[in-house]
């Protein structure tokens, strides 16, 4: 699958997950395999241009993190075209416009899903961003958009908006299969994503929503006809989901579940990346929070999770993860009750 001139090795995308999709996590997902492109956290256009440290840090990227998409949010009164140029100059290979975030601080103030409520104004904003990007990057950087189906069930605009944005020059559209009013409740409507696919002529439509297992990728593509799949919350627990899904797409058989030790190695690598690229104390807090998600796939490891959650330095985390690794666990995904008893007694 291609996003305009940007060729992706796989049709699997990491969503711009607010609060989680930092540089260390994006690199980790890439190294585990199967990922076509990763997106940054949501970036406030005004904060970027003002040099607000938090926003600039969210946009941090490097050579290990390519191709990377930077997702911008704002409305027609915000400097989104200028922020897009800033993003290009700071490593973005794709500019993505956020039209799908449902949370209040974004959707009711600065954009996100709010852009679905005034499509004519949104289309004019899209044209301005594409024009600025094309002039600045000479056609090398595509502009894409991430939308929801509509604000609520009475205002489904996804198909029409996607069609109109394609005519403006948008290179691809990602569709989360819920309305803004739904937030993350209920089930994503994969059939409705198919209506967006049917509405456009040639640009790729990327499906998003409720993809937590590798087989969901194939099921979403079959149900909707979408050309790619963006994975969000499912990747937080299993960042190896992209490689397992890639193998499924290529062979028809789901890729193997990592062994217990392989999952420990992924956690160690995540710790190393946080240590190198993230700032304290947020870096420590990041792993304090994420160990619970990893632990859900590793059996009963409560003692390990407790140590990680309370650790005050990365070396403590590394030491404890290594203690839980044993040679025979290279072939298992969870530990036995007896092993758990022995670990608790250590």
Active site residues: 101
Q: Which of 127, 66, 74, 115 is nearest to 94 (CA)?
A: 66
Helices 302-310/314-323 angle, 10° precision: 170
Q: Using an 8 Å Cβ cutoff, are 45 and 74 in contact? A: yes
Q: Which residue has the tokens 């604000």?
A: 151
Q: Which residue(s) pair with 275 in the sheet?
A: none
C-alpha gyration radius of the chain: 20
Segments in the chain forming alpha helices (H): 23-32, 45-50, 53-58, 80-89, 104-107, 119-137, 158-168, 190-199, 214-224, 233-237, 241-251, 260-277, 282-295, 302-310, 314-323, 337-345
SS3 content of the chain, % helix, strand, coil (to 5): 50, 15, 35
- How far apart (Å, rounded) are the C-alpha atoms in residues 85 and 185? 35
From CA 143, how far away is CA 37, in angstroms rounded?
A: 14
């Amino acid at each position: 699958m291609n996003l305009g001139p940007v060729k992706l090795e796989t049709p699997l995308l990491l969503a711009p997950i607010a609060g989680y999709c930092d540089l260390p996590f994006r690199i980790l997902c890439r190294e585990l395999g199967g990922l076509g492109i990763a997106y940054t956290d949501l970036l406030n256009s005004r904060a970027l241009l003002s040099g607000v440290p938090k926003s600039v840090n969210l946009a941090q990227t490097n050579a290990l993190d390519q191709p990377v998409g930077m997702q911008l949010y704002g409305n027609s009164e915000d400097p989104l075209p200028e922020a897009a140029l800033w993003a290009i100059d700071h490593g973005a290979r794709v500019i993505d416009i956020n039209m799908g975030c449902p949370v209040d601080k974004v959707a009711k103030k600065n954009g996100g899903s709010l852009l679905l409520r005034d499509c004519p104004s949104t289309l004019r904003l899209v044209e301005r961003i594409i024009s600025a990007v094309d002039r600045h990057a000479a056609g090398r950087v595509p502009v894409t958009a991430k939308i929801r189906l509509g604000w609520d069930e009475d205002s489904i605009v996804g198909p029409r908006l996607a069609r109109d944005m394609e005519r403006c020059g948008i290179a691809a559209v990602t569709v989360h299969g819920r309305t803004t009013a739904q937030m993350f409740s209920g089930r994503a409507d994969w059939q409705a994503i198919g209506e967006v696919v049917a509405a456009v002529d040639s640009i790729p439509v990327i499906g998003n929503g409720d993809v937590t297992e590798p087989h969901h990728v194939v099921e979403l593509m079959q149900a909707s006809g979408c050309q790619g799949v963006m994975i969000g919350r499912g990747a937080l627990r299993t960042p190896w989901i992209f490689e397992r899904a890639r193998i499924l797409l290529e062979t028809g058989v789901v890729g193997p579940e990592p062994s217990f030790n392989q999952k420990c190695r992924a956690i160690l690598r995540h710790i190393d990346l946080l240590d190198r690229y993230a700032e304290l104390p947020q870096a420590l807090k990041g792993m304090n929070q994420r160990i619970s998600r990893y632990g859900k796939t590793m059996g009963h490891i409560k003692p390990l999770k407790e140590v990680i959650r309370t650790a005050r330095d990365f070396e403590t985390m590394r030491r404890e993860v290594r203690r839980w690794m044993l040679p025979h666990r290279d072939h298992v995904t969870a530990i036995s009750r007896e092993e758990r008893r022995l670990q608790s007694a250590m």
